[in-house]
Structures are given as structure tokens and as C-alpha cells.
Amino acid sequence: MLSKKELFKLFSDQRPRRVPVIPFVMQYAAKIAGIAYRDYCKNPESMAESQLRCLEEFDYDAVNVSSDAHRLAEALGGELFFPEDGVPVVKDPPIKSAEDLKGLSVPDPTKAERCRQRIRAIELLNEQRPEVTVIGWVEGALSDASSIFGPTNAMKALYRDKTLLKQLFRFSAEFDRKFARAQVEAGADIIGAGDSLASQISTENFELSVEYTKEIFRSLDVPTLYHVCGDTTHQLEVLRESQVDIVDLDREVDLAQAREVLGPDMVIRGNVDPVLFVQGEPTRIEELSTTCIRDAGEEYPFILSAGCEIPPDSRRENLEAMVRTAKSQG
């Protein structure tokens, strides 16, 4: 594992002694630890244990405390369904209209139960393995707005009611700034934000949401990471202006093109096809890992990873192959 000092050379003129490798593990980490995902999402001890077990098994370079996108929805009284071994879903979004937002105060993440649990997981990771880099987690404005208002309603609002949408983005980003700050105070070294719907909307609409998300990045004095899912080729210029330090790209994005647009200083993370961790062979993962490193530009700051979360049914030897490839590259 790279030390924090070594890893953080990514954010300077220097480079770490080898390519860092940080897979996005959530469900897979719980599976490795033999912990039901419901417990992983609700219990900070289970999350910290899963993350450390998985790190110890595969020896990559950082852990994270991401699990699902609905902590704000729950803090606002939204009801969630937690399958025993799957990602929780919002049964009933807490915000149904502009009326609901009026006079609603932004929840305090240090008081909301499941937000407090994520903060506690960071404290536990730091207590147990202080040398490990911990990536804290919040949601991008688009992700939180669709969680608290419902994804279909949020999509409709994008086209029909920009005023309401901006109010949702502002509310979400204000909460996430507070949540991110609390996680940094608990010991998070990097803060990530996720926007899984980024590929689904127009560049203009994404730009609007990023106006709010970048307030989160701007408010922090630790490096930040922006995880976007799917083909976000049409959003690369918006990502370049998002003031984030690490852009985390999914498998559909061509990394050579991404480097061209994002420039030489932005850290890129990505983007081996996650599906191949389940269905592919280790030799193919090695091949693709090498291609990612080459395409992102060996002299530029880069973190090897899969394009998105490592699927829970991944073959162990495929994750081993990705880590091995990073370690074999200077």
C-alpha cells in the first residue's frame, strides 16, 4: 500500500513511486468480510471491518465509506427499504413539491443517525489503521436532488421547473458541504462525491448541477474526487471546470480523449470495465489495466480502478490482476 504521503504526490509536481490503484469497493468489501450489505450500510463497525478486510486481502491504496446515495433522504424523514444483501432504495421521497422545501432547514449531519454512522466509520478506520488513506463520501447535487425528490420527478424538473430544481440543488449542496466538513474533521483524507445520473442528462443541465456541486469541492481543504457513471464524454468539459482534484470515469469514456480535455494536471481515475471482473479472465484485466495507464498518459497523475463499483460477484483473481498490474508499473 502506498503511504498517504506517497499517494498525495498526485496533487503536486511529483509522482508516486508507482501507479496508485484504488478500486471502488462497497458490496464486494462486505462480501469479502462475510457481512450482509444491510449491516454494512447501517453499522459503522461492519463498514470499517469490511473495508479493512478487503484492503488487507488485496493490498490496494485507500478505503472508502460510500454505501448508498440516500443518507440525506433519510435525514429528512424519507423511508428507505434495506434489502438484506443489496443497495437500499428510497420507498417514499421526502420532498414532493416546492411547498415541502419552503422553510425546511438543512439537517445537521452530526445529528442524523445514518450520517453519524458514516462519520463514525471514518473515526474507526483512523483508530484501527491510521496509516490508511480514507476517502469520505457525499453526493453530488444531482444525485441528492434525485434521491430526495425521486429520480423521475427530478428528471422532469430538469426540463420543466428549473427554479425548483435549483432550490433542490442548493439545499442538497448545502447539506453536503456540512457533511463533507464533518467527515474531514473525523479524519477523511479525501472527499468523494457521486453523481450516477451524470451521463443521462444534457451538458447544459449537468453544468447547472455542477455549479452547486463545485461549492462542496471548493469548501474543502482536502483533495476531492468526483465519481460519475456511464458515458460522460459529453460532460468532460464541465468536469474540467468542476474544481475537483480527481475525476473518476466509467468504462465508456476514452481515457486518451479525457486526458486531452481535462489537461495534464487533473488526476484521472478509471476505468477497467467492471463487468469483466465477473465474467472476464485475469489476463484481460491486466491488458485493460495497462491500456488505461497508457491512455491516461504515464507521465500524468492517474489512479487505476474499475470504471465503477467492483461488482459483488467479481472473481478474486481479477481484482488481484488489476492490483498486480498497477504494482508492476513504475
Output the smallest distance, CB 309 to Zn ion, in A.
6
What is the rounded CA–CA span in Å between residue 88 and residue 75?
14
Q: Taking CB under 5 A as the rule, which mask of x and - marks residues 36-75 in contact with Zn ion? A: ----------------------------------------
Hey, what's the cell of 219? 469548501
Size of the site for Zn ion (CB under 5 A): 2
Is 19 near Zn ion (CB under 5 A)? no
Hey, what's the cell of 182? 464533518
Residue closer to Zn ion, measured from CB, 187 or 311: 311
The stretch near Zn ion (CB under 5 A) out of 116-124, 144-152, 168-176, 224-232 is: 224-232
Core vs surface per residue 31-41: b (16+ CB within 10 A) or e: bbbebbbbbbb
Kindly tell me the sign of the dihedral angle through the C-alpha atoms of 142, 146, 148, 149. positive
Output the smallest distance, CB 252 to Zn ion, in A.
11
Residues 6+ apart with CB under 8 A from 269: 22, 225, 246, 247, 248, 249, 302, 303, 304, 305
What is the rounded CA–CA span in Å between residue 92 and residue 271?
34
Q: Which of 165, 38, 31 is nearest to 95 (CA)?
A: 165
Residue closer to Zn ion, measured from CB, 94 or 230: 230
Subset of residues 227 to 256 that bind Zn ion, contact rule: CB under 5 A? 229
* Among the listed residues 134, 268, 308, 321, the single contact to Zn ion using CB under 5 A: 308
Residue closer to Zn ion, measured from CB, 48 or 229: 229
Residue closer to Zn ion, measured from CB, 167 or 242: 242
Determine contact, residues 120/187, Cβ cutoff 8 Å.
Answer: no
Output the smallest distance, CB 64 to Zn ion, in A.
12
Subset of residues 173 to 202 that bind Zn ion, contact rule: CB under 5 A? none
The stretch near Zn ion (CB under 5 A) out of 100-108, 117-125, 222-230, 281-289 is: 222-230
List contacts with Zn ion (CB under 5 A): 229, 308
